[in-house]
Each structure stands twice: as structure tokens, then as C-alpha cells.
Amino acid sequence: MKRPEPLEIFQPKSLREASALVKEKGPGGRFLAGGTDLVIAVKEKGLKPKYVVDLKRIPALTGIRENGDGAVTIGALTTMREVEISPIVLKKYPFLARSAAEVGSVQIRNRATIGGNMANATPSADVAPALIALEAKATIAGLNGERTIELEQLFRGPGQTVLAPEEILTAIVIPPVSAALRGDYIKFSPREMMDLAYVGIAVALVFNGDGKTCRKARIALGAVSPTPMRARRAEALLENQTITEELAEKAGAEAAAESKPISDVRSSADYRREMVRVNTKRALLNAAVREPASWIERRDWRY
Amino acid sequence: MKKKIQITLNGKKTDLEVPSHRLLLDLLRDEIGLTGTKEGCGTGDCGACTVLLNGKAVNSCLIFSGELDGADIVTIEGLKIGPELHPVQRAFVQEGGVQCGYCTSGMLMMSKALLDENPDPSEEDIRFAISGNLCRCTGYAKIVKAVQDASRELRARRT
């Protein structure tokens, strides 16, 4: 394996200092979070950053906090493993914890961060569909202050975001959710662990008091379009309806029609579309009928 | 670009002056001479280079030395307790969890990290934890058995 070329690594202690560094040093630098993508890009794909700005010394970027109104802020430098085992995440949206647990290995998840994963904008990122189904926002800091956008709007294409060079993704904010929210994430992948998703599907459903009629539905898909996407037409089929196997089947077909997969080394576009159809149906039925399950059931859940 | 860092390596404070871009794996093996940590894939897929960084299992092939000032690092050379092998090491020997040995140091570090967090893991927990450690010899059965034995031994010691 190739070794990195000499590099200068800065370790600013505040966001302002980090943005100012990039402004001063000019284009060609890279931010470093967990490094599980960046170091591989340097070693394997010939990426040669002019300099590296390590964000791990900025305390404001870490931790998961529940705000007074029930919204949850996940600092951008929170590791995937922290998301996976966070009591707040496990209690409020266990399917988000499970999607984080689908990333790489424990070793990778101890380093990889949620912000780094979003800022790299890989179409197959596992936590992206779960976060988008929860209508998460992205908080971005730049030299002229802070802005907040819909996470869905962060992505422009594979590896591309709306972030300006000196801007830093600081946090993911999940708005307050109904206590009646139930969700699921299915990663469809050739191996149980350590592989990228052919298809990733997150659903988040809110039911009426009767526990049957779906008041609100969100379906988000990963790895089947240039950016993680919502399946809005499929969502519309479900709202104010009782979720039956027949309806879930119809919504799956609609989501498949909305997806825009490519054919590549992992699978053909047709196969991916078919897997969107089947797994959207499964995810909807899981969410509609099942209480959150423990880790041990993950194998049964997926297949 | 050399950088001065201080790390705690296997319990000892260590001052180093290292190029920022040097990988932790190479720092350990080539500059410090601790060759127990192995390189398999170099891309974080195989786990042979696993060490503990601030108590957590990580791939040392994906970390720049320039990130490490203040870090606490434990390698396979720091696993034994005094002159004695760690129970997880002894269990691997007794169960035949070691064949060619190349994955073993990474496997042991991951197993220790698991047992620190979860003293009584189920078989499923163990397989989940070592899913990022590839072994091409054993078929994993004896490794899983060894981790189970070690967990029993460690729990017995505590009571």
C-alpha cells in the first residue's frame, strides 16, 4: 500500500480559527475529521491535499444533546460508534442507531464521524437516508456566521456538497419528533458487514391515535441516485391510509420508479430498482407492525 | 513537516518528533520498533493493524501521526499484564485460535476492546465485534471460542 506524501496538518482550536486558516492558505486544502475516507483517498486514490486542517481539537463539534423542545443536536465530529450506542438516539430513533452500526467495522466507526460522512457526500452513506427521513437539518459555519439548511439540500452529487471551501459542517439537528414515530432502516448489501449498500432504505412513519392510520410518511433512499433522496410520490400514497401489505407493495413500486440508480460493479440499475421495491415494502411493514428490536435481531430484520 | 508530539505508549509517556503524514502503523513499526502490529490491506478493511487509541479499537493504518499529540495508545506489546499473558492471549493459545498468526495481534486488541466494554458477550456480540478483523486460516470458530473462554476467566477473576 502506498504511503502518504509529506503533509502539513493544522489543529485549530475553534471554528473561526479553522475557517480563517483555509481562507489564508487558499484552495487545495482538506478538512480532516475521522480520516477513514481522507487517508484512504490519499493512500489509494492519489489525493494530494496542499494542507490538512484537523477539526478534532474543536470542542464545539462533539457530542449528542437533546434540546428542551425535543430536538436533538449531533455534533459533526460525533463518531458513528457514538451514534450507534447513544441512549438518546436508541430511545428516540433506534433505526438511526442501526444505520450508523451498518457502517464499516467497529474500528472504522470508532473514527468515522457523522459530519465527515455527510460532507463526503457518498451516495451510499448509510446514515443519510435515516437522517433525511427524520427531516434533519445541517448547521454550517463560515467566516460570516452560521446558516442552517435541510440536510437533503447539502448534497449536490457524488462527493459534492453546497459547502464553500472555508465552510464547516458543524452539526446535524433532528427536529422534535412525535412520540408515535416508528421507523426502520434496511441496508441491502452482499455481505452482512463490511460492505457498501446496494440499496439503503429508511422509513419514518407517524401514526394517528388509533395506531393504524399513517399521518405522515417519510421514505429516503440511499445508493440509488447521485445523492440520497426522498421518494415523495411513494410517501404521498401512504398519508392518511392504513398500511397494509398491498399498500406497502404499491409504495415500494412507486419508490422504485422514483429512484435513479446506475449500473456499476456492484449491481445493475434494474436490480437496484427491484431491490428498492422489495425493501421499501419490507421497511414499511417493519415500521408499521413492529416495536423497535434489539441488535440481535438485525439479521432477521434485513433478510 | 516534523511535529513534536507526546503520547502514552503502552503506559509510558513518550516524546517523539515525527513527520505529520507518517501513519501510526509506520510510526509504531518503523520508528519505534514495535512490529507486533501488522499491515494487511492498508485500507481499514482487514483489522490486522488494530490498536487501542484512548481505549478504543482503531485501524492504525488510517491515522496520521500529526493527529496524535496527547493520545493514549496500547499495542499488542502492551497487552500482557506484568510478566503474564493477558487471559485473552492465553485463551487464543489454548483454543488454537492462532494459525498463521498474521491477524492475531489485531484480533486480540479487538477482543480486549470488546471485553472491556462488555464482560459477558454472546457469540453474536463477539462475531459483530470482530467483523472488521479478517482471518483466512481459522474459520473463526476457535477465535470465538477463545474470546468466550477469556470472558469467563476475566469474570471469574473479578469475583
φ, ψ for residue A143 (rounded to 5)?
-70, -25
What is the architecture of the domain spanning A181-290? 2-Layer Sandwich (3.30)
Q: How many CB pairs under 8 A join A and B?
A: 105
Q: Specify whether B67 is located in the same domain as B91.
A: no
Where among B78, B97, B122 does a domain terminate? Answer: B78
* Spatial separation of the C-alpha atoms in residues B6 and B77, rounded to whole Å: 19
CA distance A89 to chain B (A): 19
| Contact of A252 with A276, CB cutoff 8 Å | yes
Q: Are B19 and B54 within one domain?
A: yes
Local structure of residue A258 (DSSP, 8 states): H
What is the domain-level CATH number for residue B73?
A: 3.10.20.30
Instruction: Convert B76-94 to b/e letters by CB count within 10 Å (16 or more is b).
Output: bbbbeeeeeebbbbbbbee
Chosen from A54, A107, A117 to mutate, greatest number of chain B CBs within 10 A: A107
Same domain? B42 vs B97? no
Question: Under CATH, which number does the domain A9-54 receive?
Answer: 3.30.43
Least Cα separation, residue A167 to chain B (angstroms):
21
* Residue range(s) defining the domain that contains residue B138: 87-158
pTM of the model: 0.95
pLDDT digit string, tens, across residues A161-183: 999 999 999 999 999 999 989 99
Task: Dump pLDDT digits (tens) for A58-86.
Answer: 999 999 999 999 999 999 999 999 999 99
Count of domains observed in chain B = 2
What residue has cell string 432502516? A185
**Closest chain A residue by Cα to residue B56:** A110
In the predicted structure, residue A253 carries a pLDDT above the cut 70: yes
* Residue B20 to residue A194, Cβ atoms within 8 A: no
The enclosing H or E element of B8 equals: strand B2-9
State the CATH architecture for A59-174: 2-Layer Sandwich (3.30)
Give the number of other Cβ atoms within 10 Å of residue A49's Cβ: 19
Count Cβ atoms below 10 Å from residue A117 Cβ, excluding itself. Answer: 24
Report yes or no for ipTM above 0.90: yes
The three cell numbers locating residue A51 = 494542507
Q: Which of B54, B62, B107, B130 to mutate to test the interface with A (most CBs of A within 10 A)?
A: B62
Q: Which of A155, A215, A220 minimizes the C-alpha distance to A184?
A: A220
Coil, strand or helix at B50: strand
CATH number of the domain within which B94 lies: 1.10.150.120
Are B74 and B111 part of one and the same domain? no
Average pLDDT over chain A reads 93
Q: Using CA atoms, how far apart are residues B49 and B106, in angstroms rounded to an integer?
A: 6
Question: Residues B98, B71: one domain?
Answer: no
Instruction: Please answer yes or no on whether A106 and B132 come within 8 Å at the CB atom.
Output: yes
What sign has the CA pseudo-torsion A138, A141, A142, A148? positive
The answer to whether residues B139 and B74 belong to one domain is no
Last residue of a domain, one of B54, B78, B102: B78
Domain boundaries, chain A: 9-54, 59-174, 181-290
Q: Are B60 and B23 in contact (CB under 8 A)?
A: yes
**CB contact (8 A) between residue B63 and residue A43:** no
